[in-house]
Structure 1
Amino acid sequence: MDEMMSSTTNARDHFEVATLVSGFFRTLDERRFGEGWARAYFTDDLRTTTPLGVARGADAVRQVEEAIGRFAATLHISSDVLVRAERGARTVRASWNAHMTHVHLDSTLQARGEGAGPLFTVGGAYEAELRHTDRGWRINWMSVRAVWTTGEPPLLPEETATRFAEPVDGPAAN
């Protein structure tokens, strides 16, 4: 048995966490950011660490929405969701790989000029902590690290690049 998954991990919890990850990515790609969408995936005290920086709570949710809004379309594919916890635990650690394809906005391509590539692709590694709530499993800490990229990232306003500058080391950070 893989050392990443405890032999006591509940198969149902693993399935629910993997389904939550898949649903989260589908929501990003379909851009279903209606009122309260984040409650289906995150705790209210969510903390994130992304290439855009660090964010907490509502700022973390806005960061996700802003990141997706910088592209005309996206396709996120997750794989290898590993869940680590003892049976009956109310908090679990999870990790997964992701292949993320982003199609640049026409305005980005125009700003970059002739020859600008239409795609920004990322191979990423996610780490997360999830808490079991009265609504089911929800992500309360999530970090994404780019393992590799092709193409150019989106154009970012200066305020976006500097807004999320505080480091958060991991799930135990407050």
Structure 2
Amino acid sequence: MDETSSTTNPRDHFEITTLISGFFRTMDERRFDEGWAGAYFTDDLRTTSPLGEAEGADAVRGVEEAIGRFAATLHLSSDVLVRAEPGARTARASWNAHMTHVHLESTLRARGESANPLFTVGGTYEGELRRTDSGWRFSHVSVRAVWTTGEPPVLPEETAARVTELTGAQASN
């Protein structure tokens, strides 16, 4: 995303950066009450992750399921770049993320006494946003791992098979 020619309104940048921070905080606090997704996403949300692509309600469930594979998480965002022409109804954003995941006790038991309790990811996010009557919302979110330490979570068999199919790498299950 070329930010050198951006004319983004500072208020739009602030609102989108706040949306990103709120989204990460919601995941870490696991505040997935009914309707939570409406505060962050459009109804036609699309997501892209190492586990594949999803749309709409399936994309929202994917976020909830991913977080549920861990006992705790901490997501940190930095270097948010926003591209939105003044008065535009759409925007693009990118940011770096440091994501720390604490494995469930069941994962640690399955892996044995020497299992690393943490799975850490350094990555980048890309987002497409739409200005709604309620403010900016993500219409597409994409996450890409740049590096990882530790082992990923134990995945359900069908999810592990999908990861293997998408990446050619054997997923942990």
Distance 1:88 1:6, change over 3 A: farther
| Distance in 2 between residues matched to 1:35 and 1:71, nearest whole Å | 21
The corresponding residue for 2:144 is: 145
Q: Which runs of 5+ in 2 are unaligned?
A: 167-173
The corresponding residue for 1:81 is: 80
TM-score, normalising length from structure 1? 0.90
Question: Helix, strand or coil for the counterpart of 2:67?
Answer: helix
1:106 positional shift: 0.3
8 Å CA contact retained: 1:55, 1:164: no
| Distance in 1 between residues matched to 2:8 and 2:165, nearest whole Å | 33
Distance 1:123 1:70, change over 3 A: same
Distance 1:148 1:83, change over 3 A: same
1:163 positional shift: 6.0
The corresponding residue for 1:30 is: 29
The corresponding residue for 1:116 is: 115
| Distance in 2 between residues matched to 1:31 and 1:67, nearest whole Å | 11
Kindly report the root-mean-square deviation, in angstroms, between the aligned alpha carbons of the 2 structures: 1.9
The corresponding residue for 2:43 is: 44
Question: Helix, strand or coil for the counterpart of 2:8?
Answer: coil
| Distance in 2 between residues matched to 1:20 and 1:162, nearest whole Å | 33
| Distance in 2 between residues matched to 1:138 and 1:47, nearest whole Å | 12
Distance 1:36 1:166, change over 3 A: farther
Identity among equivalent positions (%) equals 79
4-13 or 121-130, which moves further after superposition?
Answer: 4-13
TM-score, normalising length from structure 2? 0.91
